[in-house]
């Protein structure tokens, strides 16, 4: 269509950026862009523009890089050279500090495109870390980013810190990710109209806030898997997840299931201590769900994994005498809570479908019923 002059290059870029925006926020799949002639043309245009010694069109470069990152599905097919060109280009666009609506939108698109990267390449923290720190810390002082842009900035950092504990340490210790994430999730939760059902059409600001909230929840899964160090502030994230879970219970079952899954992951990956799971209300929330007259199979599976992780951790011996005494006190408190709520009877009633759930979700669910009892 471009060759036949039925569609201008400018309009093609606008169309692809809009498609990419919808893909990122609404999980719309774009499976065939990688094999399209337009994809190859965009890659060549980016490389050719980058090789110019003078007169580079930085706006065109940023637009093309956004299209590539927003629309791509198979990131392993992107040449490594392209990351070295596009990441600095988009970071430069994201570093703009003018506080007008047009610039905010440009920055949002650049950060959203960066957050779409899913690569096993070692891009190298020297290519992005200082710039991302500047973007995030400037926002924390001046609030110049949209909620989506701010979330996307963090997502980009979390994705690229996979298997890079030094970057994670910067994110956690220097940039206070847990504190900022919990605060942002709490504010978003207040903006969502939880009384509207998922199938009802939701328009305006509330809908956008809900989409951003979902992206934070998706990002926490990556963080819990990536982060390998104890951190007390992680309990703040868990508390916020519990609050979202309770708010989503009646009308947003998709979000509710995501929260149950995140609680299970936080327990399994050991990013929070068991007593923090207790104090945050996570154990109470999961106990409430498991006692419902009807429980979705997927949620049953997640709950069983949650309590299996709790049980295994409480059965571990601590070498430190004070820590061991604290572990035993936590174990006693959780056991009493479970006994009061009739947890043991519920688990026994589920025992007949352990094998079914294990085969259905095939992630190694234990078939030994005693694994789910903290008193064993």
State the CATH number of the domain containing residue 261.
Answer: 1.25.10
Going residue by residue through the chain (376 aa), what tens digit of pLDDT does each one get? 555 556 688 888 898 899 889 888 877 776 667 777 878 888 899 999 999 988 889 999 999 999 989 988 766 567 788 888 999 999 999 999 888 999 999 999 999 999 988 765 567 777 888 999 999 999 999 999 999 999 999 999 998 887 778 888 889 889 999 999 999 999 999 999 888 765 554 555 567 899 999 999 999 998 888 877 666 778 889 999 999 999 998 889 899 999 999 999 999 988 888 999 999 999 999 999 998 888 999 999 999 999 999 999 999 888 888 888 989 999 999 999 999 999 999 999 999 999 999 989 877 889 999 999 988 6
Whether residue 221 is contained in a domain is answered as no
With respect to residue 262, please indicate whether it lies within any of the assigned structural domains: yes
Does residue 329 lie within any of the structural domains? yes
Q: What residues make up the domain containing 247? A: 237-376
Residue 106 lies in a domain: no
Domain membership of residue 8 (yes or no) is no
- Rounded to whole angstroms, the Cα distance separating 113 from 128 reads 14
What confidence score (pLDDT) does residue 302 get? Answer: 94
Please check whether residue 224 lies inside any domain of the structure. Answer: no
Q: Is residue 313 part of a domain?
A: yes
Count of domains in the chain? 1
Does residue 334 form part of some domain?
Answer: yes
Task: Say which residues have a Cβ less than 8 Å from residue 275's Cβ, sequence separation at least 6.
Answer: 326, 330
Nearest CA to 231 out of 194, 188, 276 is that of: 276
Task: Say how far apart CA 261 and CA 265 lie, in whole Å.
Answer: 6
Q: Name the token pair of 264.
A: 């299970």
pTM over 0.85: yes
Count of CB atoms within 10 A of residue 293's CB? 4
């Amino acid at each position: 269509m471009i060759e036949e002059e039925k569609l201008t290059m400018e309009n093609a870029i606008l169309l692809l950026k809009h498609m990419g925006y919808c893909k990122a926020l609404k999980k719309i799949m774009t499976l065939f862009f990688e094999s399209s002639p337009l994809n190859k043309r965009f890659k060549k245009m980016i490389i050719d523009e980058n090789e110019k010694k003078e007169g580079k069109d930085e706006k065109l470069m940023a637009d093309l890089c956004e299209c590539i990152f927003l629309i791509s599905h198979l990131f392993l097919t992107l040449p490594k050279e392209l990351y070295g060109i596009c990441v600095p280009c988009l970071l430069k666009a994201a570093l703009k500090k003018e506080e007008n609506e047009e610039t905010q939108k440009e920055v949002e698109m650049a950060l959203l495109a960066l957050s779409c990267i899913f690569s096993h390449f070692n891009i190298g923290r020297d290519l992005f870390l200082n710039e991302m720190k500047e973007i995030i810390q400037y926002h924390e002082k001046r609030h110049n980013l949209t909620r989506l842009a701010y979330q996307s900035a963090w997502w980009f950092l979390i994705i690229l810190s996979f298997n890079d504990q030094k970057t994670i340490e910067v994110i956690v210790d220097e940039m206070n990710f847990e504190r900022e994430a919990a605060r942002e999730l709490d504010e978003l939760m207040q903006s969502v109209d939880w009384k509207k059902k998922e199938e009802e059409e939701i328009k305006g600001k509330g809908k956008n806030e809900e989409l951003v909230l979902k992206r934070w929840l998706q990002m926490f899964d990556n963080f819990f898997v990536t982060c390998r160090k104890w951190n007390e502030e992680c309990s703040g994230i868990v508390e916020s997840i519990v609050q979202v879970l309770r708010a989503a219970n009646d009308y947003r079952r998709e979000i509710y299931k995501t929260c149950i899954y995140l609680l299970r992951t936080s327990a399994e990956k050991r990013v929070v201590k068991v007593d923090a799971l207790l104090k945050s209300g996570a154990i109470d929330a999961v106990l409430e769900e498991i006692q419902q007259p009807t429980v979705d199979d997927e949620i049953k599976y997640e709950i069983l994994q949650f309590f299996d992780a709790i049980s295994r951790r409480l059965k571990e011996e601590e070498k430190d005498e004070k820590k061991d005494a604290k572990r035993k006190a936590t174990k006693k408190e959780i056991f009493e809570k479970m006994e009061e709520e009739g947890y043991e009877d519920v688990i026994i009633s589920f025992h007949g479908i352990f094998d079914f759930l294990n085969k259905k979700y095939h992630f190694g669910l234990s078939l030994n019923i005693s694994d789910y009892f903290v008193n064993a």
